[in-house]
Structure 1
């Protein structure tokens, strides 16, 4: 089995088993603010269990390709959304669950203006901007309990463009 993951464009249909693509697509659901703003309403399934929603700001270091993927993580107690605060693309890595362990990962490259919402318990890579600054608003669960599981692969993957 090849240990190379080639980035593919992030689309709502390809990403649907893992979460939601947050982007402007189609016509707005509503026009608000005296006709000056289109509202694309309720675009993600947020799930925080017994916690609450929190908004944090992440400042991640930019990465270069090819890069090594040695670990993925998941959050069993809540969903997690990454909303870029720049127009730069970033890498999104997800893996299907195979009996409590991640199966072969998939690697996506966002288009400018796209964000993602990982569903609860979705194996995913860490925040991986391709350009500085790596500023993101992150909406996730705030609360008690162990909400992070990491899985380190026996052999790392190489992610390429």
Structure 2
């Protein structure tokens, strides 16, 4: 059995709507809005198109421990039955690793550095890394994220909306310039 081919490390690029478009949508409080609540609140509407098959959309909170650079990514996952929307609630930069769904698994891996005021809606069936807030060495306080995604139906087998791909050797991601 031969060793896994050597893979070059990824370099995280800034998260922009254009660069991320093949994988989903970037959520930002910029651009068109309407004033509500007697003019004291800006509403930025319909920032993400949720894509849910069967089941229903639900809102969950995820508390993820921060990681430091370089980040090792041992696996990616995809959700064939629905998109998955992540919105940071604790501030701070975070890493988004994504890839297209090729015939042999993840294809065209990319890494994005998201700011604490940016969310993403990862398109259905798109490979992505696990939630990865970034912090300084020794920082262990979990960062909170609101997650809007598909909640399965009663009687649905566990894992029906989860496919994982574990790399032969972890993918390494470095910060961009």
- 1:11 aligns to what? 16
Q: Quick one: which of 145, 148, 152 aligns to 1:139? A: 148
CA distance in 1, matches of 2:71, 2:125: 24
In 2, distance between residues paired with 1:2 and 1:47? 32
Alignment coverage as a number of residue pairs: 160
Rg larger in structure? 2
Residue aligned with 1:13, SS: helix
Query: Which of these residues, 66, 78, 82, is aligned with residue 82 of structure 2?
Result: 78
TM-score (norm 2): 0.86
Deviation string, structure 1 residues 67-89 (Cα, Å, up to 9, x no partner): 21121000001111111002211
1:1-161 pair list within 5 angstroms: 2-28=7-33, 30-99=34-103, 101-131=105-135, 132-144=141-153, 145=156, 146-161=160-175
- For residue 8 of structure 1, report the CA deviation from its aligned partner: 0.6
| Equivalent pair of 1:3/1:156 in contact (CA under 8 Å) | no
1:100 to 1:147, Cα distance in 2 relative to 1, 3 A:
farther
TM-score of the superposed pair, with normalisation by structure 1: 0.94
Partner Cα separation in structure 2 for residue 9 and residue 114 of structure 1: 11
**What 5-or-longer segments of structure 2 have no aligned partner?**
1-5, 136-140
SS at match of 2:18: helix
Structure 1 residues without counterparts, runs of 5 or longer:
none
**RMSD of aligned C-alpha atoms?**
1.4
Q: Call closer, same or farther: CA 1:6–1:71 in 2, change over 3 Å.
A: same
